[in-house]
Structure 1
Amino acid sequence: MGNSIVTLNSVCKGFNDGDKHHQVLDNTNLQLAPAETVALTGPSGCGKSTLLNIIGGFEFIDSGNLSLFGNNTADWHDSQWSQYRRSNLGVVFQQFNLLTPLNVKDNIAFSLRLSQQHWSPWCDHLIDLLGLSAVKNRHIEALSGGQQQRVAIARALAHKPQLLLADEPTGNLDENAGRDVMTLLTELAKESQTSILMVTHSAECAAFMQRRWHLEQGHIHE
């Protein structure tokens, strides 16, 4: 277990839907090592996004043990979760969750301020590589879906997090743009030594990651 950054031991998580109970994680075990990249696949509704939300601290487990960066999270309070999210975590949501009143550069700078960091040459490098230099002063509403996707990735990586959680990061892109974004995402993660756990339905996107986990009926198979 030594230096894994995410460890799940016998984690269970279920939901009640009316009088039906859906068990999405059933004594699930996994370990993610530093700078490791993993694609998470599985049928719709199997709990892939729930698993990301648990690792991000947006949802909580019913039983079992979740350790992050060698720390058991069982006793963590809001302040510890907030600190972890600000310092160690980058997230690319399916819905982007960008701040629409702000322009591209301010969206990225906002996430930096949360982690008490300042704009750096790395941020310029991100904007440049992701093809956003020409639109960095534009408002989010004026961007295409593909450009918004790239802003979301730049924002998630701006503070060089040790862990990036990505939920269908190419879901809104055509095949070529998706391939470009995956190439950049893996290159940038390598540069900043960031681990990636990415939910995807695309076999082509999954192939960019070093490992592949398949979640089905509450269990992960490699």
Structure 2
Amino acid sequence: MKKEQIVQLDEITKEFIDGDQRHRVLDNLGLTHFRGDTIALTGASGSGKSTLLNVIAGFEPASSGQLELLGNNTQDWTDRRWSQFRHQNLGVVFQQFNLLTPLNVADNIGFPLQLNNLEWNDWCDHLADRLGLTPLLKRHVENLSGGQQQRVAIARALAHKPELLLADEPTGNLDQTASVEVMQLMCELAAENRTSILLVTHSQTCANFMNRHWHLEHGKINE
């Protein structure tokens, strides 16, 4: 059976201009991310790992090349189309959590549901239970520990059952024990929904949870 492509990159280049200097961060990348893949993306600081995630998520455009998501060419997508795709098909876990601090835990988890005109459901109950958040649902997120906030971020990213989870150093602010526990839960919950993962990490321990490994160096990917 032919594998279904979630992400297809063809000759993707990303350049930044600083005065009269042109810096090429991504250099004619060609990559395929199949449904069900869990991929660790490693590389030195400043190598372009977060930039690659931002290009795939549509937060910033590539300088050249073609990006296909779920078989759709994104070249002519408007901002509205990108927002629709992210709301429906993409989950993102940021290193700094990026939780909505005026809201409580339940409202943060349910935020992507609201964007899709959906309501809290059994899957959200399951996420909260597995991540140990059920007793905290009414607590405001600024009153949580770093590990608890990261669990909320993971629950929020998975609440709408996305096709693809992009995670940028999701355990970077946690100690080793908490990192392993969070990674195990994130991978198990993603597998339950067949959500594919692209994980940016400096941690070999975290990378070992993924079934594929990409290394970004000098704008190129080695697997």
Would the alpha carbon gap of residues 186 and 2 (structure 1) be closer, same or farther in structure 2, given more than 3 Å must change? closer
Partners of 1:2 and 1:70 within 8 A in 2 = no
Q: 2:110 — aligned with what?
A: 109
Tell me which moved more, 18-27 or 101-110: 18-27
Taking structure 2 as the reference length, the TM-score comes to: 0.97
SS of 1:193's equivalent in the other structure is: coil
Whether 1:187 and 2:188 are equivalent positions in the alignment is yes
CA RMSD of aligned residues (A): 1.1
SS of 1:156's equivalent in the other structure is: helix
2:217 counterpart letter in structure 1? E
Q: CA deviation at 1:52?
A: 0.4
Q: How many residues align?
A: 222
Q: Distance in 2 between matches of 1:169 and 1:178?
A: 8
1:76 counterpart letter in structure 2? W
Tell me which moved more, 10-19 or 198-207: 10-19
Q: Distance in 1 between matches of 2:200 and 2:79?
A: 26
Q: Identity of paired residues, percent?
A: 64
1:108 counterpart letter in structure 2? I
Tell me which moved more, 55-64 or 128-137: 128-137
Partners of 2:3 and 2:34 within 8 A in 1 = no
Taking structure 1 as the reference length, the TM-score comes to: 0.97
Q: Distance in 1 between matches of 2:147 and 2:22?
A: 37
Partners of 1:37 and 1:195 within 8 A in 2 = yes
Q: Moved runs in structure 1, 4+ residues, more than 6 A?
A: none
SS of 1:190's equivalent in the other structure is: helix
2:83 counterpart letter in structure 1? S
Partners of 1:104 and 1:137 within 8 A in 2 = yes
SS of 1:107's equivalent in the other structure is: helix
Residues 58-207 of structure 1 mapped to structure 2, 5 A cutoff: 58-207=59-208
Partners of 1:146 and 1:177 within 8 A in 2 = yes
1:27-73: CA deviation from partner (whole Å, max 9, x where unpaired): 01100001110000000001000000011110100111000000110
SS of 1:95's equivalent in the other structure is: coil
Q: CA deviation at 1:2?
A: 6.8
Q: Distance in 2 between matches of 1:41 and 1:152?
A: 21
Q: CA deviation at 1:111?
A: 1.6
Q: CA deviation at 1:21?
A: 2.1
Q: Distance in 2 between matches of 1:79 and 1:212?
A: 32
Partners of 1:35 and 1:194 within 8 A in 2 = yes
1:95 counterpart letter in structure 2? Q
Partners of 2:41 and 2:213 within 8 A in 1 = yes
Q: CA deviation at 1:19?
A: 3.2
2:98 counterpart letter in structure 1? N
1:109-163: CA deviation from partner (whole Å, max 9, x where unpaired): 1221112221111111111111111211100110011111110000000000000
Unaligned runs of 5+ in 2: none
Q: CA deviation at 1:20?
A: 2.7
Whether 1:20 and 2:47 are equivalent positions in the alignment is no
Residues 43-62 of structure 1 mapped to structure 2, 5 A cutoff: 43-62=44-63
SS of 2:192's equivalent in the other structure is: helix
